[in-house]
Structure 1
């Protein structure tokens, strides 16, 4: 069985849209949701958002809902930030349900979720609870809220919210996932019939040997291979979760990556969005000891999904 989307879906998909720049898509939370409920979405996408919101409303108190929403998003500020227009967790989810109902009614949608999209993970509840408890870098209140979600809503929704909390907390605190736990997360994702891009959204947090001073053999980072995926690290944060390298220009030095394609720790990076790839040819603009990587596909901290962007040039020194 296969779900309708290979990436995130339901309410957890919607939380990825509430990032630092969410107000670009609406002055209030309701306007932003209306914007993201695009007319071209599949009905299953809207049905999944509605189902998740309804599940949380029916199973959790408003304070727990607010904790989970905050854990899964990265907009800054408190839950009741005036810009959002949220009055309470329950009222906010009720708003989302009504917006989904309006979308479905306008298109006369009378279908329901079927097949893998109805999987709630009931038989996996214990395994999901173990992973929630094992993720100790999450604050206690978030883990408690996730446990309530797994027990009172569905393990599937709790697991997707766990992945969102891992991604957001890891991004803010530079927390790491052990390889063994990531492997378990992948197994659970497969059992829940998730698509190939959902669980890997937290793969960039997986602990790497070179983070502990272990030896690794640097390998040249070469361009020209459209399928080469390389996370681009900026200081202690991540500018692009993943990028497709199409050409590199190296002058007076070399750029290396570890065997997994990640830049060694401490590699600084400056972004120059909007530059055209044609402007990056040759070595004249790179400077001594500087490597320039030009990418045409990237994901950034706001969306975490591979998508076409304007030509994005990254200079690594």
Structure 2
């Protein structure tokens, strides 16, 4: 049984909206999300975003959410410094509202399948080890936030946030970009297959 989407789903997918030119197409962060929630979008995509946002909002303190989000978006700390948002908790509330608004317009919206609800609890130790393997890529606050996400949210969400944060950290190190070794890539791909991510299938 496979998930309905590839590995960049939920909040990591939303993080990808915020490239360096996103303000050319949206007047606010919430508008940027709403602009991507087009009418023909699969309902599962919105449900997965809402699930991730709710989980962070209910399980982590605002400062942890802020740290996770700034580690995953291209603009980093500027995301909050250059907006009217106060912290990560306020931001995920806005994301939840955008999801709810879309879902209200789509009464036929599906429920998440068993595969999409898979949390990978049995892989919590592997995800923690993988996060600490890359601790020299991140500041300590992000490492701790990711580990807390494993423990208080789900290993699946923490691993997807890690996958989103790795290329962001590499770009932030410009001009000395960081590269994955073949062994590191293989371990990430193996975990991705265990989490049933489409791009990691054999």
If the length of structure 1 is used for normalisation, what is the TM-score?
0.60
Q: Give 4+ residue runs of structure 1 displaced > 3 Å after superposition.
A: none
Change in CA separation of 1:75 and 1:197 when aligned onto 2, cut-off 3 Å: farther
Q: Which runs of structure 2 are paired with 1:32-47 in the superposition (5 Å)?
A: 32-47=32-47
Match of 2:196 in 1: 193
Alignment partners' CA distance in 1, 2:104 and 2:155: 29
Residue segments in structure 1 that go unaligned for 5+ positions in a row: 199-317
Describe the SS at the equivalent of 1:196. helix
Alignment partners' CA distance in 2, 1:27 and 1:153: 31
Choose the corresponding residue for 1:177, options 168, 177, 180. Answer: 180
Match of 1:164 in 2: 164
1:110 Cα deviation from its structure 2 partner: 4.7
Question: How well do the aligned residues superpose, as a CA RMSD in angstroms?
Answer: 1.6
Describe the SS at the equivalent of 1:112. coil
Q: Are the equivalent residues in 1 in contact too, given 2:124–2:155 (CA < 8 A)?
A: yes
Q: Are the equivalent residues in 2 in contact too, given 1:20–1:76 (CA < 8 A)?
A: no
Residue segments in structure 2 that go unaligned for 5+ positions in a row: none
Match of 2:127 in 1: 128
Whichever structure has more helix as a proportion of its residues is 2
Task: Provide the aligned length of Structure 1 versus Structure 2.
Answer: 197
Alignment partners' CA distance in 2, 1:12 and 1:75: 14
1:24 Cα deviation from its structure 2 partner: 2.0
For 1:243-295, what per-residue CA distance to the aligned partner results, in whole angstroms no more than 9, with x for missing partners? xxxxxxxxxxxxxxxxxxxxxxxxxxxxxxxxxxxxxxxxxxxxxxxxxxxxx
Match of 2:107 in 1: 108
Alignment partners' CA distance in 2, 1:7 and 1:151: 21
Whichever structure has more strand as a proportion of its residues is 1
Q: Are the equivalent residues in 1 in contact too, given 2:190–2:200 (CA < 8 A)?
A: no
Match of 1:140 in 2: 140
Q: Which runs of structure 2 are paired with 1:225-264 in the superposition (5 Å)?
A: none
Change in CA separation of 1:29 and 1:143 when aligned onto 2, cut-off 3 Å: same
Which has the higher relative contact order, 1 or 2, with Cα contacts under 8 A spaced 6 or more apart?
A: 2
If the length of structure 2 is used for normalisation, what is the TM-score?
0.92
Alignment partners' CA distance in 2, 1:76 and 1:159: 19
Between 163-172 and 185-194, report the one with greater CA deviation: 163-172
CA radius of gyration, larger in: 1
